[in-house]
Chains A and B, each alone.
Chain A
Amino acid sequence: DVVMTQSPLSLPVTLGQPASISCRSSQSLVYNDGITYLIWFQQRPGQSPRRLIYTVSNRDSGVPDRFSGTGSGTNFTLKISRVEAEDVGIYYCMQGTHWPLTFGGGTKVEIK
């Protein structure tokens, strides 16, 4: 199985400051079609997960442009350019390239 490793586990951030979450996979996430199926989710306290980014860097409709995804191969990053109070929650990466699908362990973003 592909192991997804996120860091850090916890990320205290000052409002208005940037934040960066790393996600590494144990093998390449490039599929046979050349597309990399790396997805980012946000789960606010008490809510269902919400997809933010798909195929590494494509932002979902309604997702603020302060969120961006980058990376390739086995190394990926979610960046928040300026953290707002509503960004508090747990962020998960997931790979959709290999079966079984696997998630990272999550990164908890909180306000300092």
Chain B
Amino acid sequence: EVQLLESGGGLVQPGGSLRLSCAASGFIFTTYAMNWVRQAPGKGLEWVTTISSSGGSIYYADSVKGRFTVSRDNSQNILYLQMNSLRVDDTAVYYCASEYQAAYWGQGTLVTVSS
């Protein structure tokens, strides 16, 4: 069974940093691209970033480019999202999702940016 388990969310002040993790199991992590998608409270889904299976190709939404960094540890089956210079409008539930077509999703982790 595919499982994606996000962690690392919490309350942070504007300008602060957080690192999210997504632990994957139940599929061959090393062969799949991975995504981060976020959802602000009461709002729709917003794609954040995608990293290819090897990590050699990475794409970012303009809204996070230069502030967020996606990475993966294929030896540990973990996806990361380093978030710097956080803004109030980054407040959202952050989901990791597997494959370019987002076949499987985790339960999400809430990031709240507030003073």
Contact = CB atoms under 8 A, between A and B. Distances in A.
Q: Do A and B come from one complex?
A: yes
Nearest to B50: A101
Contacts, number: 56
A48 B106 contact: yes
Interface residues on A, range: 20 to 34
B47 A101 contact: yes
A51 B102 CA distance: 7
B59 interface: yes
A101 B61 CA distance: 8
B46 to A, nearest CB: 7
Nearest to B103: A51
B59 A99 contact: yes
A96 B100 contact: yes
B2 to A, nearest CB: 11
Interface stretch (A15-23, A70-78, A81-89, A102-110): A102-110
Interface in A41-84: 41, 43, 48-51, 54-55, 60
Interface in B10-24: none
A92 B106 CA distance: 17
B95 A49 contact: yes
B108 A48 contact: yes
B102 A39 contact: yes
B105 A92 contact: no
A8 to B, nearest CB: 15
A47 to B, nearest CB: 8
A41 B45 contact: yes
A49 B105 contact: yes
B101 A100 contact: no
